Amino acid sequence: MSFALAGCAQIGAGFGQAAAESLGLDGADRRRRLYEQMHQVPIIVPPLVPNTGAGVVFAQDQMGPTTGHHWSVRRLAAWGWTAGTVTVYRNAVQTGFGAAATLTGEQWFTFPQPGTFTFGRGEMLLEPDDSLLISCSGVTLATGAQGITVQGSADQFQSWLLPDYLM
């Protein structure tokens, strides 16, 4: 067997483990089992309402995976401001409140203006019980905006599937 063929067989075997568990099932039971193991989830961040141009938002149940699951963030979009920056952190710690709030932790990226970021599989990985935190500074809300909106999507999968997911 050639190296390329052996590699494909090995990858196929890895990806096939989740499917193999569902092999004896048919129809709706098989689809339900596969969905339980891996599916895409929305990332819905509560509105970020700046206080004198700055603010922080965090909601564990909406901004990170639960115990036993991983997230691979695939897309994040932010809009609702015309000046300033919005920064995304992983597992940051907040000190202070309102305009004095600051985050320290792993800074993932900054929106210098409203827009959308997309990521490849496994590039922006959240471990079980990790979470995203969003902060803004120097922000001027867009006309008619009540706050900054951040939304996106992530691939959610059971933690035991991580090696297969990363292949």
Domains defined for the chain, CATH in brackets: 3-36 (no CATH), 39-165 (2.60.120)
Question: For all residues of the chain together, what is the average pLDDT?
Answer: 82
CA distances to 9, 47, 114, 135 from 132, rounded to whole Å, are 36, 14, 18, 10
Judge whether residue 23 has pLDDT over 60: no
CA 159/CA 33 separation, integer angstroms:
15
SS3 of the chain: helix, strand, coil, percent, to 5: 25, 45, 30
Helices (H) and strands (E) in the chain, counts: 3, 9
State residue 100's pLDDT score: 64
The set of residues, in sequence order, having a beta carbon less than 8 Å from that of 159 and lying 6+ positions away, is 68, 69, 70, 128
State residue 12's pLDDT score: 42
Q: Are 158 and 66 in contact, with CB atoms under 8 Å apart?
A: no
State residue 2's pLDDT score: 43
The pLDDT of 20-29, averaged and rounded, is: 62
Judge whether residue 160 has pLDDT over 80: yes
CA 153/CA 76 separation, integer angstroms:
7
Q: What pLDDT, in 10s, does the model give residues 31-88?
A: 677 777 888 999 989 999 888 788 888 887 789 999 999 999 999 999 999 999 999 9
Judge whether residue 148 has pLDDT over 60: yes
Assign 3-class secondary structure to 23-92: CCCCHHHHHHHHHHHEEEEEEECCCECCECCEEEECCCCCCCCCCCEEEEEEEEEEECEEEEEEEEEEEE
State residue 105's pLDDT score: 85
Query: What are 106's two structure tokens?
Result: 């792993």
State residue 60's pLDDT score: 73
Q: What pLDDT, in 10s, does the model give residues 106-122?
A: 999 999 999 999 999 99
The 8-class DSSP code of residue 157 comes to E
Judge whether residue 26 has pLDDT over 70: no
